[in-house]
Every structure is written in C-alpha cells, then in structure tokens.
Amino acid sequence: MPATKYPLDLELPWVEKYRPRYLKDVVGNKDTIESLERIAQQGNMPHMILSGLPGIGKTTSIMCLARELFHDDQKLMKNAILELNASDDRGIDVVRNQIKQFAQKKVSLPPNREKIVVLDEADSMTPGAQQALRRTMEIYSNTTRFAFACNQSSKIIEPIQSRCAILRFSRLKDEEVLLALQRIVDKEKIEFTEDGLAALIFTAEGDMRQAINNLQSTYYGFNLVNAENVYKIVDSPHPLLISKMLMLATEGKIDESLDVLKQLWDKGYSAIDIITVSFRVMKTMYKLSEEKRLEVIRLIGFTHMRILDGVSTFLQLACMLSKIAMLEHKS
C-alpha cells in the first residue's frame, strides 16, 4: 500500500514555517534586537552570550543576525556557520574536533565578516569542554566568533563570560504572543474563539514556541481553537476551576473548595499541575484585597516548595486550602 502523501506545508511544523528570517521579524525584546541590528549593519560581530527562558527567540535571533551578516547567501552560510546543540554535543571531544577544525577552516568571506559558531543550550556544556573552548576562542578570534544561547548565563564559566557581550532576553508579553498567533490564524484560516487565543497565551507563559505548537496541535486535533480544546491538548487544569476552588477557600467555604480539588484530582491532574496553575491564577485575582492576595500567594508558594521536594500528595493541596480558608476566620 503506497504511503499517503501530504502537502509540504502540512509536514512542516508551524514553529519552523513561521520562524522569523530577519531581525525585524523577531517578536519582543526590542532593545536587544536593536543591538543585534546595529551589529548586522556594522559587521564585526563580537563573541556573544544570549540568555533567557526557552522559546523566546534566542537561537532564532542569532540565525537572523547570521543571515543578515552574510546577506542571505545560502552557500556562504553553509560554509561559514557551525550550529551545535551543546546539550547533545557537550563533551571536550566536540571542542577539540568539530569546533577546532571548523575554526581552522579557510572560508572566503566579505570584509568585516567572520565565521560563526552557534552553541545552543551552552549552559549544558561540561566545565572541561568550556575550559577547552576558552582557549579556542582566544586563538581563532580573528577568524571565528562564538554565539552562545543558554537559559542561565551563570552556568557558563567566568573566563568565557568576560570574553562575550551578554544579551538578556526576557519573557514575551501577552500582547506580543497574541499578535504572532493572530498572524498565523489569519494565514492558516483557522476557526477560533477569543477565549481560545487567551488560553493559548495563558498556557504558554511567554514562550512563543509553546504557544505556536499548542495552536497547531489544537487545530489538528479539533479543527476549532477554543479554550476547552486548548486545555484538553495541553492537559492542564482549567483556570476557571482553579479560580473557583481558590475563591471558595478565601471565602472560608472549605468543604466546597475541597470538592473542586477532588474533582481536579480525580481527572488525573498531578499536584504540580494544580499548584502551578493556582499560582498563576492567584496573581491576577484582583477581586481580593492586595494584602490577602499576597498572603494566599505566600501559602501557595510554600506548598509549591514542598511539592517540588517530592511531597506531591492530595493532602498537601488540601492543607493549603484549609490554611487559605483560615485567613477568612482570622480577618
């Protein structure tokens, strides 16, 4: 039986299909992108560390910068850029072999341009590999520049940090994620509801990659992007249920609040799922006074710590709700 053939666009994940090609297309982190645009105009790229949370455009920005430095010449980019994922290729052998050989390679480049080594997830590299890399950076700095993308720049050794310009990427704003999602929705002609887009933004937490992946998964799964379908796809507790549970607790109605918790627990949600959404919901629960809201957030935070320590039981969550309910009797 012959294999089913799909259109090319269907095979390509939307996160790749709609990945920005030039710096002007990158969403968010305006000041950082402007700094990269200046480097693209002037040439002579420095060694760089781009740090920030996953899915906010670090690797994409480096590749956009490289594309502009080499004038989108695909043949030149193929010869002049080495891209490695340091979480896979993180040992000293990679530095001694692949990176060093690439740095020694002679490539004909335009004036004020150097070869570029892109190390994604560089904070996963072993200390030994980083020490070896420091020496390589020193020897070949005239012909090769290094760009490190990482979640935490503090995990990169000081000697490398001191040789690099550090650019920090912050979490994307909700309105920035919304604009990107609306652009994709319009191009793909997707049927959606406003609460569906709001759910995508809520579950993504500023991570553009996750928002786009969830959009594609929801559309392919249900052909309709609404809140209910999004929460089914991401397998996350519905914020309205969590909000109801917390509001009942703040009103001192502990039995009703525990009933909602039991309902969520019976659906198979883990303690970490429930506590994470509880924290995000409470941050925006402005119906409560600020003093009370902060006190509830404190209680949620302590419970979150215990769950992360491994005590992820129903009893921990029930204890949290009872402490929240006691606030009502104290006031």
pLDDT band at 87 (very low <50, low <70, confident <90, very high): low
> What is the reported pLDDT for 88?
63
Placement of tokens 């994922």 in the chain: 85
Residue 83: strand pairing partners? 118
Domain boundaries, the chain: 11-168, 174-234, 239-330
Q: What are the structure tokens assigned to 125, written together?
A: 């590299």
pLDDT tens profile 208-247: 999 999 999 999 989 999 988 998 888 888 888 999 999 9
Instruction: State the Cα angle at 175 between 192 and 166, rounded to 5°.
Output: 130
> What is the reported pLDDT for 330?
66
pLDDT tens profile 285-305: 888 888 999 999 999 999 999
Placement of tokens 């560089």 in the chain: 122
Q: 276 Cβ partners below 8 Å, 6+ apart?
A: 304
| Phi and psi angles of residue 85, each rounded to the nearest 5 degrees, phi first | -95, 110
Instruction: Report pTM.
Output: 0.80
Q: What is the mean pLDDT of residues 300-314?
A: 91
Average pLDDT, the chain: 87
pLDDT band at 180 (very low <50, low <70, confident <90, very high): very high
pLDDT tens profile 252-289: 899 999 999 999 999 888 899 899 999 989 988 888 88
Q: Are 238 and 204 in contact (CB under 8 A)?
A: no
For the domain made up of 239-330, the CATH class stated in words is mainly alpha
Residue type, 317: L
Q: What are the structure tokens assigned to 103, written together?
A: 């740095």
Q: What is the mean pLDDT of residues 171-200?
A: 92
Of 306, 308, 267, 309, the C-alpha closest to 323 is: 306
Q: What is the mean pLDDT of residues 46-60?
A: 90
CA-to-CA distance for 250 and 137, rounded, in angstroms?
57
Architecture of the 174-234 domain: Orthogonal Bundle (1.10)
For the domain made up of 11-168, the CATH class stated in words is alpha beta
162 pLDDT higher than 70 = yes
Strands 165-168 and 144-150: unpaired
CA-to-CA distance for 178 and 176, rounded, in angstroms?
5
Better pLDDT: 135 or 265:
265
Better pLDDT: 278 or 86:
278
Strands 115-120 and 81-85: parallel
